[in-house]
Amino acid sequence: MDKKELARLSTEVFPLFEAEPAVVRVDHDPVIIVGDLHGNLEALEFILETGASLDCSAFVFLGDYVDRGKHSIEVLCRLFKLKVDRPGNIVLLRGNHETAEINEVYGFYEDLGRDDEVFSQVNETFDRMPIAAVVNHSMFCVHGGIGEPISLDMITKDDRFDYLWNDPCEDNGLRSSFQRWGTREFGSDICEEFLRMNNLERIVRAHSALDDGYRWWFGGKLLSIFSVPEYLGPESRGAFGLLKNGLLEIFVFGRERKGSYSIMGSEKSSLSGVLCSGP
């Protein structure tokens, strides 16, 4: 894959994103939910192959496809082609690294050989991406988080900052972030009011690198997942979720010694909380 192929695929996928609303409705069972990828093509291929083995062909990707990893162009080409080939089964949400002000600095612009034309074209395509997805009428999927609780029909592609950047925190309310300058953190009260207002059960988000690949917040009301193993060191894991028959199963994967990626554990939960864990 090279930047010419990316430019071609970007042109093909542009009208698909443009036709999608800011909040996409996804009604598939089963469906796999994927966190940050950051140019890790091996992780993407492993998740796709695992999905095939689980007889799952529907995917919701939560953003941050580019920057920091070695294969941003290849990851983006793979995802754009999947979207073109299977538009009803592939949802690509926008992450904070799908913005020009970020991906100009963190690697993608350099990966393109500082090609301004392709860089602008791809970022114009990013501008048309949806911001969030509601999966099976129960889960709100987003890259970052939420701000002031509002109804879903008030979310627009232009008013995206909170959804791409905000993080959960232990304290109630909304406050300025100590971790990311210029962004905000939201507490369990904000999460619960947003869910109540929109008749939803859970938020699933990405955006935060995690040693174990996932973390529960707010008594199971929010799940944070990150899909890049070895991002925080050789022992850190990646994770993705499979929603099937009303249960969300989290698969944790990584590399043992110098082998290929493999599943290292899983955990199932209902919408009311964790049910069981397994190897």
What are the residue numbers of the active site?
97
Q: How far apart are CA 142 and CA 134, in angstroms?
A: 9
Q: How many residues are present in the chain?
A: 279
- Report helix, strand and coil shares of the chain as percent, to nearest 5: 30, 25, 40
The two structure tokens encoding residue 70:
């070695």
Which residue in 208, 259, 217, 268 sits closest to 238, CA to CA?
A: 208
Non-local CB neighbours of 148 within 8 Å, separated by 6+ positions: 174, 190
Q: How far apart are CA 27 and CA 25, in angstroms?
A: 7
Rg (CA), the chain: 17
